[in-house]
Chains A and B, each alone.
Chain A
Amino acid sequence: MSKNFRAKVINNFALNPRTFLLEIEPIEETIAPKPGQFYMIQPDSSYDPLLKRPFSYIRKSNGKIQFLCAIKGKGTRLMMNFHSNKIISMLGPFGNGYPIFKSNHISLLIAGGTGIASILSLSNEVQNKYLIYGARTRDELLLLDKIEELGDRFIVCTNDCSYGKKGMVDELLKDFISSHKDNINSIIIYACGPLPMLKAISKISAENNIKGFASLEENMACGFGACLGCAVKTKQGYQRVCKEGPVFPFKEIIW
């Protein structure tokens, strides 16, 4: 069982011009991931780019692991062109993952953009759940086929009104809270997405005294706690997104 392993590319295709879905299968024995954990993927075996990149996994089934990757620069452009059967170098799973509670409560999952990947890894593990998912445009709403099975417990919005409700996820969160006034204490929020979105959600949950957790993203060189590059400011001082995170309680983060 190793956290430093090689994997074979099974599938790799574009979801829109800026995002692709990568499916890999480890060719060595690996450790099972927990929802919210991530892997480091090496884009190229040359030294440019040098570092591996962190990606949350969407799901693991039949030994295969899926990732949602946004094209950000040189590394992800190389990854977009991974062909089937290519052998790649990976590390993981890393990070703490989402805390899952035994008690009876409502899990409110909130995703923005590619944050849906991490949220989907959690969605199969929690029972009484709702999902709010937002993006700028219809084109940026990803993997809808995987989540529409939630039916009316799935609320979607776009900033430009091209699909679902118009607006941002924080507005939908406010609506959700007002329609669940009676059992507000049993709500737990799990959120992943752009920082301004997480910040807005954290503020609303604090105002309504709702417990919540955010999965954060930061540049990192190693992924396993050595480089100290991915520090975020928390009430306990700087903490590592890769090790103490990526999931932090809203109230711990200094936004």
Chain B
Amino acid sequence: MSRRASSLGPIDLGLLGSLFFVVPVVLLGSSYLRPYDAPELDPRPALLPLYLLLSLARLGAAYGMALLAALATGYLAARSAAARRIILPSLDVLQSVPILGFFPVAVGFFIGVFHGSALGVECAAVFLIFTSMFWNLAFGVYESLITLPEDLVVAADQIGLRGSLRWSRLILPAVMPGVLYNSLVSWANGWYFLIASEIIAVGPARYTLPGLGSYLAQSVVVGRHQQTLLAILVLLATTVGMHLLLWGPLDTWAERFRFEESGGHPRTPPIARALGRSRIVRWVTRKLVVPSGQQALTVAGTVLHAVTTHSRLVGVALALAVPLAVWGLGRRLYLLFVSRALSPEIRDIPLDLVLSFLRVALGVAVSAALAIPVAYAIACRPRWRGTALAVIQIFASIPATAFFPLIVVLLTWGLAMNGGTVLLALTTMFWYVLFNVLGATTAIPKEMQEAALTLGLGGRRYLWRVVVPAVIPGLITGSVTAWGAGWNALILCEYIEAGGRVFSVRGIGATLDRANYGSGDMQVVAASLLAMVLLIVAVNRLFWDPLYQRAARRYKMDA
């Protein structure tokens, strides 16, 4: 009890946390509730902490909403077969939509809602980040819940765990490892889109969101390389700091919720395990996370219980709202295309699409070709593994959008734009493949490794007969994710304005960007978005899904 008194209580923590997020948001909000006048960012490095705080506030707000929504959605999908039939396919389609393409549309919408105030841009950014964080969290929750051991559920029923108690004692602990694992992914996605949304200039008027990303972008455009470097360093320090102060401690704490080692479950990210040995992480875990963890679960349980008890109401509301929205959208699209003659650019869309497709496909192939040897090299050297993984993970947690400025500098030095585009896309795509492949190599059961050893399978034979087959499911999962992410990257990097020059290649991303930011031709915007989404969904359905099914059947670790 005396220990409790000396450490910060959960309430203090909650207060501090909300101060951290609420104050900048309120400050921002008050300064935003006036008509927008496109400010130039103040370039003084002393303001960087403020910019960082603003960026973090956006991320935090989006993450909070995404987590709550994901828990509720995943829970509903796992509990009711009817909900599952609607939720899973919609999530599947929605997550394959390239979010960045919709950003200008969202900005337009929210600016309309807030009558031209810049709060609309802020909301659009948070919305964009939310959509980048939500899907994998929801799938993570759903998967943890359907793989919950049946005995445990029966036992919980038997003991009489109901209502908020069921949430805080059964469901939340059960989904905790999956949620944490996916939070890392979500958070990385969030950074990516945060920076993208801060960088993007919208429409004829430029909207700038003050934040780390816009600071980075502006310093590149103006050509202040020292500031660029500084901003990247701040970003790096922040991601490392978050691992030390947040993810590491949370993960150490959540270790207690893990069921015994089972192959299919997402394992602790290696960096978190490596960090588990750090003194800072242990201190934070002991002093902050452990004392407040159970209370946090209880509070969350109450909230979630309240949210999900009205699920039927929400369901009915959705059942009414969704058809209405679809009808409204369809009508607007129809009007858009019949109201005037078709723009000539629309005829170019098929070829644009093919060119972009080739770039993404090349990106996937290169990522896979690079990831397997790297993963193999790491897997073969267990002594280095921890260090190598930590370094890779820190690099990967720098959002690829932060590399864009650097590659733009290369472009201004004369790098061919086609190469530059693929390189830019690769900075986004490679990590997805690498992490999935690495995860699969480390999931090879120990006895299987020993069997290979005693059978004399060494070197290249071990690579081809054991490692490659074992990583195939991971390789496909990673490639699917990279394929989706690649399209987002193309929207960002087929058309780049920097230092007063325009770098662009022909492709659907460039067409979309030109229409979004140049001509403002909504016909072209709608047509290219539709074409892109249809292509992505079709390839997912007709190529990746069957491929994955076959691979999973053949290469699953179940013998």
Please say whether chains A and B are actual partners in one complex.
no
B-contacting residues of A (Cβ < 8 Å)? Answer: none
A-contacting residues of B (Cβ < 8 Å)? Answer: none
